Structure 1
Amino acid sequence: MTDQTASPVPSSLTPEPAHPNPQGVRRVAVLTSGGDAPGMNAAIRAVVRTAASQGIEVVGVRRGFSGLHRGELQLLGPRDVANTIQRGGTILLTARSHTWRTPEGRTRGAQHLRDWNVDGLIVIGGDGSFHGAHYLQQEHGIPVIGVPGTIDNDLYGTDHTIGYFTAVETALDAVDKLRDTGASHERIFVIEVMGRHAGHIALDVAVAGGAEEVFIPEDAKDVSCVLDVVRQSVAKGKTGSIIIVAEGYPGGAQGVADAIQAGTGMETRVSILGHIQRGGSPVSSDRVLASRLGEAAVYALMEGRSDVMVGRQNHGITFIPLNDTWEKRKDVNRDLYRCAKTLSV
């Protein structure tokens, strides 16, 4: 008779031991706040499933700090986040809350967390969301961990933020299509991408899309510089030009387009991509980043960390004080900025 005894599981496949939990964390809450970003659902999923693997319950807060103030809380289990990793937006919904900016609003939110016996809160969002988390911890002693979820990639302390990779790909796809139209009509397209205070998206899109010029908030160069660029492009036989402008550049895309039209007389069109960059299924890089950071956020609470953002630098997990994420400036890659100019000839 054949031996039906199961062979031992190879040591490399044995389950990991429970993560150290010196704080005795038994229940954590998670919310998404501010502008949505592709990959937020992947982060929520990672929080829920990491917690479940450690015997910790998760409370989902709907509509961000606004929902926390109103007490919109519910338990989440591993099956509640099934089939969500590929979805854009956020299943927990998001909203901006003026009430949370007041001590009274934060007091009510803190009480709701206590009523639910929550040991710590994970906030997925940008610097505005981190402000709200920071004050909650400072005023009420509730441990908070920030997970960087914003397409702008403007948070100090992490190489990339959740949603950034997808936003760049979405904008690049639009640029490729507009270049085809511009070349066919011998027309200049000035394309505005998101980035109210930072030019990370604009810079990556400009290099990857072969743009002739890029304008970012970090460099307030005069718009007149684009006139020579356009004239040189025509002299070299180019049938169309692409100019990328971050929304935070003074005057925006329309200001750049008006300068080109007035200075050269060439037909110029403006395309503002807007909120389309926030939507859509997250690309693989955002899913992986969100999964790693969501897992690390749970472990951070178990280890007793608080008032920090979990980030990724040089492929490793890092922890940055929440106030550093907005008090310290994250500059664009100046080498890439130089590269954009070099390759535009």
Structure 2
Amino acid sequence: MAKEIRTIGVMTSGGDAPGMNAAIRAVARACAYYNVNCIGFYRGFQGMIEGDHCVLNARSVRNIISRGGTILKSARSEEFRTKEGRRKAAKQLDKLEVDAMVLIGGDGTFRGGQIFSKEHEVPVIGVPGTIDNDILGTNYTIGYDTALNTVIEAIDKIRDTASSHDRLFFVEVMGRDAGFIALNTGVGAGAEEILIPEEDLGLDRLLESLKRSKRSGKSSSIVVVSEGDKIGKNVYELAEYVIENMPNYDVRVTVLGHMQRGGSPSCFDRTLASRLCVKAVELLLDGKKNVMVGLINNKIAATSFDEGLSGDHEINKELLRISDILST
């Protein structure tokens, strides 16, 4: 028989993502609705180890749905990777009488939660919060939509400058292991080329594409580069290669960096966070554990950690085909 859940803990871990505050709010208010206590842990797993916490209720999370970042802070904990660290975290949960946890983060957060749950029999539900959208078991992760809109807005402004000065801009976006941001914003912003980790375009093909653009009459170009692209060591090396081989191009590099993680979350991300986290609380109260909640075909679905962590969310190759057609 499943243990009665009287107190649920919540934390955010890994890279911050717009919509995490909306997720925290949803957990706290769902707990209030179902007459369950809610405790928030600061700085992810490290806060669990140290017992660094606050009591959350319906009123303490007011007015945070529109804020970027996370009021609970976020961090990566090397100590939690050890058995002793996880043992300390379990003792803190016992001390605070926390019966179950909602973990908001990416695959590293879910792996930590999976191990912790198996070792200490604490029910855990994962909520995907990462701008990279690289988690199996959901079509969209919290923060991804906002990041796309942030990048699109930036590229649109860069396009104005590129057109005014007949320049080629390499725009690097986040995505060390996945090219979802680069691919979707590249298509949405009308980029001439999109470079992502999943597809090795090659330097020769990149040059040929840029030369083709020149021949077609284009005086400026945008190349969107995922930070994990494998063609060169980094975006600056790519730019240098083009300068050496196409000296008539005036080449510039813009690295958007951490601005992609910030800002007020979009309506989509606020709604997604709310839907996923209410379901996470309800699953715990129904005795479920060791699953992540996600959005699949616009319906909330639960996927086991084993299945969700077993592979990669595949890139949409149809978008690559569309990009090739539209960049003509």
**TM-score range normalised by the length of the shorter chain:** over 0.9
Distance in 1, Cα, partners of 2:324 & 2:146: 24
Give the corresponding residue for 1:16.
none
Answer whether contact 1:33 1:95 (CA < 8 A) is retained.
yes
Match of 1:256 among 226, 234, 238: 238
CA distance, structure 1, for counterparts of residue 204 and residue 76 of structure 2: 38
Matched, 1:229 2:209: yes
What per-residue deviation string (whole Å, max 9, x for no partner) do you get for residues 151-175 of structure 1?
A: 0000001000000001111111110
Q: Distance in 2 between matches of 1:52 and 1:224?
A: 59
SS class of match (1:189)? strand
- 1:334 aligned partner: 317
Query: Secondary structure of the equivalent of 2:110?
Result: helix
Percentage of pairs with the same residue: 46
What is aligned with 1:298?
281
Q: In the alignment, which residue of structure 1 is the partner of 2:101?
A: 121
The reply to whether residue 286 of structure 1 matches residue 266 of structure 2 is no
* Rg (Cα) greater in structure: 1
What CA deviation, in whole Å up to 9, does each residue of 1:252-276 have, x standing for no partner? 3223212221221111111111110
The aligned residue for residue 191 of structure 2 is: 211
Per-residue Cα deviation, 1:222-244 (whole angstroms, up to 9, x for no partner):
12211122122222222210001
Residue 185 in 1 paired to residue 168 in 2? no
1:1-345 equivalences in 2 (<5 Å) = 23-250=3-230, 251=232, 252-265=234-247, 266-345=249-328
Deviations 1:176-206 (A, max 9, x none): 1111101111110000000010000000100
> In structure 2, what is the equivalent of residue 17 of structure 1?
none
Deviation for aligned residue 1:221: 2.3
Match of 1:11 in 2: none
Matches of 2:306 and 2:229, distance apart in 1? 25
Q: Which one-letter code corresponds to 1:185 in the other structure?
A: H
CA distance, structure 2, for counterparts of residue 207 and residue 253 of structure 1:
19
| Residue identity matched to 1:48 | A
CA contact (8 A) 1:37 1:149 kept: yes
Confirm or deny: 8 A CA contact 1:38 1:88 kept in the other structure.
Answer: yes
* More moved, 244-253 vs 151-160: 244-253
How far apart are residue 24 of structure 1 and its match? 2.7
SS for the counterpart of 2:177 is coil
Query: 2-side partners of 1:124 and 1:147: how far apart?
Result: 5
Give me the TM-score of the superposition, normalised by structure 2.
0.97
Is the contact made by 1:211 and 1:244 (CA closer than 8 Å) also made in structure 2?
yes
Shift of 1:23: 4.8
Work out whether residues 131 and 323 of structure 1, in 8 Å CA contact, stay in contact via their aligned partners in 2: no
Partners of 1:55 and 1:322 lie apart in 2 by: 27
Q: Is the 8 A contact 1:22 1:302 kept in 2?
A: no
1:8 aligns with none
Equivalent residue letter for 1:237: G
TM-score normalised by L of structure 1 = 0.92
Query: Mind listing any 5+ residue stretches in structure 1 that lack a counterpart?
Result: 1-20
Aligned Cα root-mean-square deviation (Å): 1.2
8 Å CA contact retained: 1:23, 1:302: no
Alignment deviations for residues 59-104 of structure 1 (CA, whole Å, 9 cap, x no partner): 0101111111111022111111000000000000011110000000
> Which residue in 2 is equivalent to 1:5?
none
